[in-house]
């Protein structure tokens, strides 16, 4: 409230540029926060915090001293509650900010030979072998790869298919590829907390979860159906035809967020039919 009261006494003729920039920056941060939290349980927590905060103002206005005292003492703890309970959403929000095109000038441009990856995915799709392949772009996955099985190997179709073979000890986790090298295997990715994908299997939920927090491209093959799915920037593209896979991944690598082919669609819980 103090901010809005202060607007009346601000000499707008002298500070309109800084005020406009201030408002635009705050509006952008609010928009990014809303778009990040709108499909997660975090929005419910923020609504609850907002109700408590507004209730405290009403209690003060109406003279409810006991209620005001209780809510006033609760408010400082709400800040720590938000930080603790919204850790996945905060990581996702900072990841979204890191995807701003201007900031990408400071990152090393990713380099991939897609042919062996596409060949392996097509073969595993045909044989119905479940797999998760992560292509790292600008945001590092060092914290995830450190807890996986290190490899540091060249990317070949044979190695990828061997890793995800059903009897392989590494087939359960994801393979992380960075700068055209297999960094690690058997890595476990963060699960998505989106309420729209509660019926999806573990592979697709973890792939979508990583795409929500980073700018990586995640390719998934289903163990049940053999369908190919791509997760990128919090969206799931399903099904992806084997012949369209390379063109779609190349487009996402170059920064095209939406696939050009009309037949590829964003997967929704109600009609996705994705199982693992």
- DSSP secondary structure letter of residue 266: B
Structural domains of the chain, with CATH: 16-98 (no CATH), 114-254 (3.40.1700.10)
Amino acid 265: pLDDT? 42
Looking at residues 35-57, what average pLDDT do you find?
72
- pLDDT at 97 > cutoff 90: no
End-to-end alpha carbon distance in the chain:
51
| Residues 109, 5: Cα–Cα separation, whole Å | 47
Q: Which residues contact 173 (CB under 8 A, 6 or more apart)?
A: 132, 148, 149, 185, 186, 187, 188
Best-predicted range by mean pLDDT (127-131, 168-172, 254-258): 127-131
Amino acid 247: pLDDT? 92
Amino acid 200: pLDDT? 77
Radius of gyration (Cα) for the chain, nearest Å? Answer: 23
Q: Are 128 and 165 in contact (CB under 8 A)?
A: no
Amino acid 100: pLDDT? 57
Contacts 24+ apart (CB under 8 A), 163-171: 164/124, 164/129, 164/130, 164/131, 165/129, 166/129, 171/129, 171/130, 171/131
- pLDDT at 118 > cutoff 90: yes
**pLDDT range class, residue 92, cuts 50, 70, 90:** low
Looking at residues 178-187, what average pLDDT do you find?
91
Amino acid 116: pLDDT? 93
Amino acid 274: pLDDT? 43
The residue among 14 and 217 whose pLDDT is bigger is: 217
Q: Are 150 and 184 in contact (CB under 8 A)?
A: yes
Looking at residues 242-270, what average pLDDT do you find?
65
**pLDDT range class, residue 128, cuts 50, 70, 90:** very high
- DSSP secondary structure letter of residue 273: -
Tokens 């914290």, located at residue:
143
Q: What is the mean pLDDT of the chain?
A: 77
Segment 74-85, tens digit of pLDDT: 777 777 777 776
Helix 114-126 with 245-253: angle, nearest 10 deg: 140
Q: What are phi and psi of 9, to 5 degrees?
A: -105, 5
- pLDDT at 260 > cutoff 60: no
Q: Lowest mean pLDDT: which of 10-19, 45-54, 69-78?
A: 10-19
> Within its chain, how far is the Cα of 194 from the centroid?
10
Rounded percentage of the chain residues whose pLDDT exceeds 90: 26
B/e letters for 144-182, b = 16+ CB within 10 Å, e = fewer, are: bbeebeebebebebebbbebbeeeeebbebbbbbbeeeb
Amino acid 177: pLDDT? 94
Tokens 């190349």, located at residue:
250
- pLDDT at 102 > cutoff 70: no
Strands (E) in 54-164, as ranges, are: 131-135, 149-154
Looking at residues 221-238, what average pLDDT do you find?
90
The residue among 240 and 273 whose pLDDT is bigger is: 240
Looking at residues 165-180, what average pLDDT do you find?
89
Give the number of other Cβ atoms within 10 Å of residue 72's Cβ. Answer: 12
């Amino acid at each position: 409230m103090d901010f809005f009261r202060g607007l009346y006494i601000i000499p707008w003729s002298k500070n309109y540029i800084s005020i406009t920039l201030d408002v635009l920056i705050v509006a952008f941060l609010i928009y990014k926060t809303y778009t990040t939290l709108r499909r997660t349980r975090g929005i419910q927590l923020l609504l609850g915090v907002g109700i408590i905060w507004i209730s405290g103002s009403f209690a003060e206005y109406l003279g409810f001293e006991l209620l005001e005292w209780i809510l006033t003492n609760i408010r400082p703890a709400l800040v720590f509650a938000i930080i603790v309970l919204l850790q996945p959403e905060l990581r996702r929000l900072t990841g979204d900010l890191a995807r701003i095109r201007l900031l990408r000038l400071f990152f090393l441009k990713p380099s991939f030979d897609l042919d062996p990856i596409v060949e392996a995915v097509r073969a595993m799709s045909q044989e119905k072998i479940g797999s998760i392949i992560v292509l790292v772009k600008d945001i590092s996955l060092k914290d995830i790869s450190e807890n996986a099985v290190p490899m540091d190997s060249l990317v070949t179709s044979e190695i990828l298919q061997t890793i995800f073979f059903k009897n392989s000890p590494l087939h359960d986790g994801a393979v992380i590829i960075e700068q055209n090298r297999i960094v690690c295997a058997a890595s476990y990715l963060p699960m998505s907390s989106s309420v729209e994908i509660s019926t999806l299997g573990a592979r697709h939920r973890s792939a979508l979860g990583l795409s929500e927090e980073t700018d990586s491209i995640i390719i998934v093959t289903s163990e049940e159906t053999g369908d190919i799915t791509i997760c990128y920037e919090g969206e799931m593209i399903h099904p992806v035809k084997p012949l369209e896979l390379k063109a779609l991944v190349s487009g996402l690598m170059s920064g095209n967020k939406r696939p050009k082919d009309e037949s590829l669609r964003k997967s929704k819980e109600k009609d996705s039919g994705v199982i693992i």
